[in-house]
Amino acid sequence: MSLFDGHLTDAQAQRMVDGALLEPETASVERHVAECPECQAAVESYRMLAIALEDLEVPPLPADFTVGVLARIDAAERAAARERRWALGILAGVALATIVAFVAAGARAWAPSVSGVAERLGDVALAVRVGAGFLPALVGVFRLQIILVAAVVAIPLLVALARLMPAPEARAEVA
């Protein structure tokens, strides 16, 4: 929620009538309302609305209202639990079918693939070990160039992102 600036929003006028303004904004809002006929009219209309609403009779709730609400909540929870069980069953079925397919295919069918993946992982590990040996020295040598390139890339990106952000006054306040 933003502090007061400009004319009152509907939420601020309602909070003023209810005596629920935020402490930092109370003095400035009251000072503005004392000087602004437009905001005085908004506050007065909310006061009259509050008085009119207080005079209305509150209809009694049906006797089974709480039971009905709880029954709907219970039904929704049961449906969600049923969906979770179905999803878990489907996931277990897929896992079981995958295991059965691997077992049925036998080691001759999938062992070469697993072996190939293991070899690629070994190559990646070797590349990481080799890179770890000279990469710190390389970064140390090109530290200034890395910082300059990062700045050249980051500054226009940050400016573009800042322009995409909405202006602060465009935000609507909710009661």
* pLDDT tens profile 7-66: 888 888 888 888 888 888 888 888 889 999 999 999 999 999 988 888 888 888 899 999
Instruction: Say yes or no: 15 and 25 in one domain.
Output: yes
pTM, two decimals, is 0.36
Can you give the residue range of the structural domain that contains 24?
10-62
Task: Evaluate whether residue 165 is within a structural domain.
Answer: no
Task: Evaluate whether residue 79 is within a structural domain.
Answer: yes
Task: Evaluate whether residue 113 is within a structural domain.
Answer: yes
CA distance 142 to 138: 6
* pLDDT tens profile 108-151: 787 888 889 999 999 999 999 998 888 888 888 999 999 999 99
Locate tokens 């905001």: which residue? Answer: 39
**Taking phi first (over 0 means left), then psi (-120 to 50 degrees means alpha), and beta for anything else, what does residue 165 get?**
beta
Instruction: Say yes or no: 14 and 58 in one domain.
Output: yes
CA distance 4 to 28: 7
The total of structural domains in the chain comes to 3
Q: Residues 16, 45: contact at Cβ < 8 Å? A: no
Weakest-pLDDT range from 49-53, 65-69, 162-166: 162-166
